[in-house]
Each structure stands twice: as C-alpha cells, then as structure tokens.
Amino acid sequence: MIAPVIIGEPSTSAIMSVGQAPGRHEGKVQRPFGWTAGKTLFQWFESIGVDEESYRQQVYMAAVCRCFPGKNPKGGGDRVPNKQEIKNCSQWLQQEYQLIQPQLIIPIGKLAMEQYLEFKLLTDVVGKQHSQQLGEFAVDIIPLPHPSGLSTWFRKDPGKTLLQDALQLIQQHPAWQQAFLTRV
C-alpha cells in the first residue's frame, strides 16, 4: 500500500459509501473518488439530483483499504488489495460503523460489495436493496458497480438497467430523503 491515507470529509450523515481503495491520483487531491472514476460516480448521483459537493458534505465516504494499492503488475488498472491488506484496514471500517451507525451503506464496486454480501455475479446484487445486521444495528445496503473507465458492465444491459434501478432505490431511501430532500 502506498501513502497517503485517503478518507472522506467528516459527516454525521446516516449514509456511508464504501469504495475499494484510493486510485493513484487521489493522493494528489486528498479526496476519495477524486479522479476519473469519481467523475463518473458523481454523474450518476447528479442524475438523481445530488451534485458532487453536496454528496461529499452529506455522505461519509470510506474505503475497504485506505491507501493506494499500486498498479496491477499485469496491466489493466490498479491492483486489487489482497486479503491481508483488507484485514489490516478492517478495524477502521468497523470503528466507522460504530461511530456513524449508518442507515444506508452504498458499497461501490465488487470488493466493497464483498464486505457485506455473498454473491457470484454483479447481477445478483446490483439494483436491489439488501438488509443486514452490522453489530448492534440494522442497515440497508444498495450496491453500485465500480465507475472505473475500464469497466463496461454499467454501460450495457443488464448492468445499465440495474445501475438505474440501484440509483432509484438510493434516491427513494429514507436516509437519502432526509439528507438531500428535506434541506431548504
């Protein structure tokens, strides 16, 4: 893992998003999803009426791993964190759950989804709302695919339709409504 540690802005929101790990450019901007994948991610949220700055202010942004894992030695983007790296960072995620006690978790990408859900295919989980017990509290989980420029999954069906279904579920969730639609 390559420093610096990247975390989102402080937020007391009932919504938490969880990504995989920072990309190589996030260290420069000191923000999760601060580069190309973030542009795509925030376009998705803009499609349901929430701009990037509002999202960053109202949603606690976490990650499975906190540092850039390095480039994939075989090419094709960033290296996926290994089991030991995930384990090393898991204490931070657990503490964040306890502090924030989110009502809604939005895992972004397969690695983040795997921290909460068992599945074989993205089509099994994206576009659906899942309920889980995390420690002492219940939470709803609405996964999104990773917005990487290398991914084509969300650009064609069934991924395209399932992404839209997931965004609608997020928009209709009571925690989202409270965070974004009741503000004046």
Q: Pick the closest to residue 4 from 39, 28, 37, 36 (CA basis).
A: 28
Q: And the tokens for 114?
A: 């795997």
**CB burial readout 3-41, b (16+ within 10 A) else e:** eeebbbeebebbbbbbbbbbbeebbeeebbbbbebbebb
Predicted confidence (pLDDT) per residue in 106-154, tens digit: 999 999 999 999 999 999 999 999 999 988 889 999 999 999 877 889 9
Residues of the chain with pLDDT below 50 are: 184
Q: Pick the closest to residue 163 from 151, 171, 155 (CA basis).
A: 155
What domains can you pick out in the chain, each with its CATH number? Answer: 2-181 (3.40.470.10)
Q: And the tokens for 84?
A: 């030991």
Length of the chain measured in residues: 184
**CB burial readout 46-79, b (16+ within 10 A) else e:** eeeebebebbbebbbbbbbbbbbbeeeeeeebbb
Q: Residues 163, 121, 118, 173: what is their CA dihedral angle, to the nearest 10 degrees?
A: 10
Number of C-beta neighbours around residue 163 at 10 A:
22
pLDDT score for 184 = 43
CA 33 to chain centre: 9
